[in-house]
Amino acid sequence: MIKLVNNDTHSVIYAKHGISWTCLFFGCLVPFIRADYKWMLVMFIANSFTHGFAIIIFAMIYNRIYVDSLLNQGYEIVTDEY
């Protein structure tokens, strides 16, 4: 788990790293729950065109995409806990 803190809003988010098993099993519902609507739409369209094969690729990279988007929003990594 990675702990990210936004110093402006004092909000804390815990994000996982590595393979997103929830993304593999639940597909584009994961970005929807995380309020990451841009990637939800990208995943939905990619899965539609590849008949579900793209979800395997997104399962391998989505957690990194999510952490990168949080870092771009002003969050900072506080700890990297395993």
Query: pLDDT digit string (tens) for 41-57?
Result: 999 999 999 998 999 99
- Would you state the pLDDT for residue 80? 65
What are the pLDDT digits (tens) for 1-46? 899 999 899 899 999 989 999 999 999 999 999 999 999 999 999 9
pTM over 0.95: no
**pLDDT over 90 at 82, yes or no:** no
Q: What's the whole-number mean pLDDT along residues 56-61?
A: 96
Tally the domains of the chain.
Answer: 1
> How far lies 45's CA from each of 6, 38, 56, in Å?
31, 11, 14
Q: Which residue has the tokens 């700890």?
A: 79
* Domain interval for residue 66: 2-80
- The closest alpha carbon to 38, from 78, 7, 69, belongs to 69
Distance (Å, rounded) from C-alpha 12 to C-alpha 22? 21
